[in-house]
Amino acid sequence: MKRQFIKDIKTGTQVDDVFYCSRRDVRERRDGGAFLTLELRDKTGFANAIMWDRIEDALKCVEVGGFYRVTGRMGDYQGKAQLNVNLIYPADKAEISRDDFIAASRYDRAELMTELRGFIAAVKNPHLRGLLDAFFGDAGFAEKFSLAPGGARVHHAYLGGLLEHTTLMARLARSFPEVYKEIDGDLLMTGLILHDVGKVREYVYDVAIDHSYDGRLLGHITMGYEMVQDKLAGMKDFPVELGRMLLHIILAHHGQMEFGSPKTPKFAEAFIVYFLDNLDARAAMFRETVEKNPNAKWTDFQQYLETNVYIPDKPA
Ligand SMILES: [Fe+2]
Ligand SMILES: [Fe+2]
C-alpha cells in the first residue's frame, strides 16, 4: 500500500513511493545532454517530475502506462510543485494496488444503477426501449457501464464516473418535456443515456485510469456511434429516421467540432444532450477543483473552466 499520496506531499518532502507514469518526455539540456520530464499520478492527482542526471537507466525502463518506485524530493518550479527524481525503477507487482490509483464515485453505484434503470423503464417508445434493453439487459455491459470512469483526467475520472455523469444528466433532463412540449422525451432520454456509451471501451481502469489502445485511436464518440449502430443493425424494425437522429445525438454531443464532434447539434433533443453534458461536466469540474484546493481562496487558472476558481469560506 502507498503511504505518500500526491495531494498531501509538501514542498521539501523526501519521496519514496510508487506512482503511475502518465507522461514521459526526453528533452535537451543547454549543454547538449538530455533530461527527463514525467507526469506521475495516483488516485489523488498528478505531479510533474523532472530527472536531470543519470537518466540512462530510467530511459530504458520508464514507459507511459507503467508503475514505478520513485525516490526524490518534492521541489518547486515557478510556484508549482515539481518532484526532483533521483531514482526511478519498475515497481513490484505486490506494491501496486488499484485502491491507491483509482478513486471511486462518492455515490453508491448500485443505487445509481437502479435509478438509471428507472429512467429506462419510463421510456415508452418500444423501439427506443428495446434498444436500451439490448444494452442494459446484458449484465456484462451493465457491469462495465457502472464501473467505467467518465474521463481520464478533467472530470469524473474515477470508478463509477460514467454512471454518475449519465444519471445526474437524466435527473436534469426529466423536466424538459414538461416545460417544452415539443420535445420528444423518449428520444432525449435514450440519446442522453447512450451519449457516452463509448467510454465503456475508451478507458482502461483495471489498475489505473487511462485511455485504451482503441480509445486513443478512435475516441468515445466514434466508439459509441459504432456500438449503437451495431445494435440497430440487429433491430430490423427500428424506424430509420429515429435511428439516424439517435446516432446524430451521439455525434453532436460535444457541441462543436473543435471539441471532437463531427457535427454540431441539428435538432433540439441533440442540443439539450450537448447542453446537459457540458453543464454536468462543468459542475463536476468546479466541485473537483474546490476539493483539490482546500486551503486556497483562488485557484490557479483552470484551463477547461477558463478561469481562476473562487473558493468561498466554509460555513463555521
Ligand atoms: Fe462525451
Ligand atoms: Fe458526457
Ligand 1 mean position, distance from CA 224 (Å): 9
Superfamily the domain 6-99 falls into: Nucleic acid-binding proteins (2.40.50.140)
Say yes or no to pLDDT of 291 above 90.
Answer: no
State in Å: Cα 159 to ligand 1 middle.
Answer: 16
pTM, two decimal places: 0.88
Residue type, 25: D
Q: Return the ligand number nearest the Cα of 163.
A: 2
pLDDT score, position 1 = 81
Q: Specify the higher pLDDT residue, 2 or 111.
A: 111
pLDDT per residue as tens digits for the range 244-262: 999 999 999 999 999 999 9
pLDDT score of 99 more than 90 = no
pLDDT of amino acid 242: 98
Percent of the chain whose pLDDT exceeds 90: 81
How far apart CA 131 and CA 229 sit, in angstroms, is 10
* Confidence grade of residue 38 (pLDDT, cut at 50, 70, 90): very high
Which three cell numbers, joined as nine digits, stand for 34? 538530455
**Residues by chain with Cβ below 5 Å of ion ligand 1:** 196
Distance (angstroms) between ligand 1 centre and the Cα of 278 equals 9
Which ligand does the CA of 192 lie closest to?
A: 2
- Smallest CA-to-CA distance from 247 within 268, 224, 269 is with 224
* pLDDT band at 235; cut points 50, 70, 90: very high
Which ligand is closest in space to the CA of residue 280? 2
Does residue 315 have a pLDDT over 70? no
Q: Categorize the per-residue pLDDT at 113 as very low, low, confident or very high, splitting at 50, 70 and 90.
A: very high
Q: What are the boundaries of each domain within the chain?
A: 6-99, 103-290
- Ligand 2 centre from 258 Cα, in Å? 16
Average pLDDT, the chain: 94
pLDDT of residue 51: 96
